[in-house]
Amino acid sequence: MTGNGRWAWGFGLAATGLAVGLAGQQAPTFRSTAELVVVDATVVTRDGTPIEDLRLNEFEVSINGQRRAVVSAEFVRLTGAVPDDPDTAVSHPRVDGTPAGRLIVIAIDEHSVPPGAQAAAREAAARIVDGADPADTLALVAMPGPLSVGPTRDHAAVRAAVGRVAGRRVDAPRVSTGLSPSELVALRARESVTTAELLGRACGVDAGCRQAAIQEATFVADALEQQGLLTISGLRGVLETLANVPGRKHLFLVSAGLPTSTTAGGRPNLTAETLNIARSAAEANVSLYVFYLNIHFLQSFSVATGWRSPSAVYDDTSFFANGLERFADSGGGSFFQVEVDADPFVRRAFRETAAAYVIAVRADPKDRDGRDHHIRVSVSRRDAVVRHRRVIRMPSGS
C-alpha cells in the first residue's frame, strides 16, 4: 500500500473483518434501549490502578448537565492481571464465558518524527507491544503509511513490524538566524514587542538578516501547519475505521508533536481541527493515550542543533505538545511526556485499561434526537480518576 489515503482504506478492511470475526470473542456489546443509556467508564486511583469495589450510589451521571438516575454499574475486568510484570499477565475468561482482552491500536505519527528520532518512536511502540496482555488484540498503523499490521493476537507479528517504523518529518529550509521553531512561529505572528526582541537578539541591526528571519518564520510556520494537518488527517482515518467496531477501543498514539501556536493570531493554529478530532474519538468510543516523544529536550544536548537557551527548549517542548495535550484532554484521555524511558507511562496506560465499569442510566425522551449530547460521569470516592467518552448520540425514535 502506498499513498496518504490507501493505508486507512486497507486498515478499514481489516478492522471491518475484526468487527465480524471477533463478534463472539470481544467484550459484550451493551446497547442503549428506549429506557436506558449505557456508557463505560474507567475509574482508577491516582497511580492508574482500577478501583473494583464502587457501589451503585457512588456514581453520578449527567447528560447536558441534567442528572440521570444510575440503574446499574457492572465492573468488567478486561485482562487476567494488571500487567506491571508481563510474566504474570495471564488471561482468564469473564464470568459470562467470553475471553478477556482489549482492542488496542498503536498509531505512529511518522509525520512528526524526524529521521534521527525514529529509534525513539520504535522503542516506545515496542514497549507497548511487549506490555500487552496475551489476549489483547493489537494493530499497528503508521501515519501516513504504508505500514499497517493487524488487528491480530499475533503480537510477534506486530513486534516485528515495529522495526519498519520510520521518521518522515521534513523540516522547512532554515537560515542561520539561530531561532528555534517556537521562536520562529512567534515571530510569524508579528506581535510588535516579540518581533522586536527576537529580531534584535538574532540579527541586531542587520537589515538583511532581519528580512531573512521573517521569511524563515513564514516558511517554518507553513511547513508545521501542513505537518499538523497531515497528522489530523491520519487520525481521522483511524478513528473513522474504529467507529465501525463495536465496544470500547484504545488508541495509543506515539507522536513527536502536534504543533499549535498559543499566540493570538499565530500559526499554525489547529485548535478547531484538534477539538473536532477529539470529538470523533469520543463518538467512536475510543480511549486516548498519547505518548509525546519530547525529542526537543534531547536535541538541546545535540552538537548539530546548536546552543538553545533553557527557555527556548521549554518553549519548543510546549509548542509541540500543545495540540497533543488538547487532543487527549478533549477526548477524555491521558497525555504522557516521554523524554527517556516510556516504560512507566506504558505500564500506567495498561493499568488504566485493565478494567472498566459498564454503567446503565435512565434515559430522557428528549435525549433521543439524533444529536450529540455531553455526558459526565463522576464518583464520590475520594482521589478517584474517571475516564469516559464525553459525547453520546442517541438516534431519534430508538
Instruction: For residue 365, say if its preceding peptide bond is cis, omega within 30 degrees of 0.
Output: no
Pick from 94, 140, 141, 130: which is nearest to 247 by CA? 94
DSSP string, 322-361: HHHHHHHHHTT-EEEEESS--HHHHHHHHHHTTEEEEEEE
pLDDT tens by residue, 334-348? 999 998 788 999 999
The mean pLDDT value of the chain amounts to: 79
Q: How far apart are CA 235 and CA 330, in angstroms?
A: 14
pLDDT tens by residue, 291-328? 999 887 666 555 444 445 666 677 888 888 888 988 88
Contacts of 362 (CB under 8 A, 6+ apart): 35, 36, 37, 68, 69, 70, 71
Query: 89 pLDDT exceeds 50?
Result: no
Contacts of 119 (CB under 8 A, 6+ apart): none
Q: How far apart are CA 283 and CA 243, in angstroms?
A: 7
Query: 352 pLDDT exceeds 80?
Result: yes
Helix, strand, coil distribution of the chain in percent, nearest 5: 40, 20, 40
Domain ranges in the chain are 6-27+36-170+227-370+381-393, 181-221
Other Cβ atoms less than 10 A from the Cβ of 34: the count is 10
Judged by DSSP in three states, 279 sits in helix
Pick from 180, 151, 199, 158: which is nearest to 315 by CA? 180
> Which residue pairs, CB below 8 angstroms and at least 24 apart, start in 198-206?
202/177, 202/178, 203/177
8 Å CB contact between 18 and 137: yes
pLDDT tens by residue, 219-252? 888 888 888 888 999 999 999 999 888 878 899 9
Pick from 276, 210, 243, 231: which is nearest to 107 by CA? 231
Residue owning grid cell 444529536: 371
Query: 27 pLDDT exceeds 60?
Result: no
What topology does CATH give the domain 6-27+36-170+227-370+381-393?
Answer: Rossmann fold (3.40.50)
Residue owning grid cell 505537518: 227
Judged by DSSP in three states, 38 sits in strand
Alpha-helix runs per DSSP H in the chain: 6-21, 118-131, 155-162, 181-188, 192-203, 207-242, 271-283, 295-299, 310-330, 343-352
Instruction: Check residue 349 and give its pLDDT.
Output: 93
Q: How far apart are CA 175 and CA 208, in angstroms?
A: 12
Q: Read off the pLDDT band of 363 (50, 70, 90).
A: confident
Instruction: Check residue 16 and give its pLDDT.
Output: 39
Of 113 and 312, the one with more pLDDT: 113
pLDDT tens by residue, 156-167? 999 999 999 999
